[in-house]
């Protein structure tokens, strides 16, 4: 499953490189729906992943989760440009 996620990421990064320098456009409702549907399997993969693998995926995505014990909430922050254009692997090939 991690390999599939990596392949999807590689395709997305290739699309980013192909579209570099192009003014971004708003996505259509259908495009957003298709994207969310395609990412649906990723939530299952992450839910069932080993904790160390999950932490590495979050790190490579630039995602930081901070637990707030006083309110029992989690604050999520993401750096969208953290690894743009850099292909990385989680624990080698799977």
Q: What is the CA radius of gyration of the chain?
A: 15
Residue 44 φ/ψ, nearest 5 degrees: -65, -45
pTM (whole model) above 0.85: no
Give the residue-averaged pLDDT of 56-80. Answer: 88
Rounded Cα distance, 41 and 44, in Å: 5
**Nearest residue to 90 (alpha-carbon basis) of 20, 1, 2:** 2
Question: For residue 49, how many C-alpha atoms fall within 13 Å in the half-sphere facing its CB?
Answer: 22
74 in Cβ contact with 68 (< 8 Å): yes
Strands (E), 26-72: 63-68
* Domain boundaries along the sequence of the chain: 2-78
pLDDT tens digits along 17-33: 776 666 777 888 998 88
């Amino acid at each position: 499953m991690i390999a599939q996620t990596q392949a999807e990421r590689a395709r997305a990064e290739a699309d980013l490189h192909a579209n570099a320098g192009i003014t971004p456009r708003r996505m259509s409702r259908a495009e957003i729906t298709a994207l969310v549907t395609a990412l649906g399997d990723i939530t299952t993969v992450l839910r069932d992943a080993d904790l160390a693998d999950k932490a590495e995926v979050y790190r490579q995505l630039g995602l930081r989760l901070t637990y707030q014990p006083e309110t029992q909430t989690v604050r999520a922050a993401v750096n969208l440009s953290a690894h743009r254009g850099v292909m990385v692997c989680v624990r080698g090939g799977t």
